[in-house]
Homo-oligomer: A and B are copies of this chain.
């Protein structure tokens, strides 16, 4: 039975650059190949590109889950395998984070920052791909507050990030 660990991806909706898209594709594919589930907000932009990457490893045991702000499954990007249409608007951000065993930040703006702050508050391991810019670059290697002693782990490369995930999730 699928009892795989789940990685939450927090990042921008909307247009992304070719460079960020390539990173997202690599990230999604490696998460799938390494036997993780993927959870994200189910929309376009970073979310869609990571889900797309996930689908490129078709023999994966993992599942790609989208937790939507709206009420309609049809709003999910086409790579989501399971869709939770919450109808909660942006209050759904905390659910994406709670569903991850670890949280990875890719680019992102204010909505992503709510997720980073929730992840920190909920005690989740948080890493960021700082080469993608935006919130990911801003929060890399920093603390959100003094209640935790660790930092948001900043990485330039997906491969390094994967190593960190494996260590954090005890494998």
Contact = CB atoms under 8 A, between A and B. Distances in A.
Interface of A: 1-3, 6, 37, 55, 58, 63, 65, 67, 71, 79, 81-91, 93-95, 98-99, 109-111, 113-114, 117-118, 120-122, 134-135, 144-147
Contact of A110 (B3, B55, B109, B147): B147
Instruction: Give the oligomeric copy count.
Output: 4
The 8 residue pairs across chains A and B that have the minimum distance between CB atoms: A87-B89, A109-B145, A113-B117, A110-B121, A2-B81, A114-B117, A91-B91, A110-B120
Contacts of A6: 82
A85 to B, nearest CB: 5
B91 A67 contact: no
Contacts of A87: 88-91, 94-95, 98
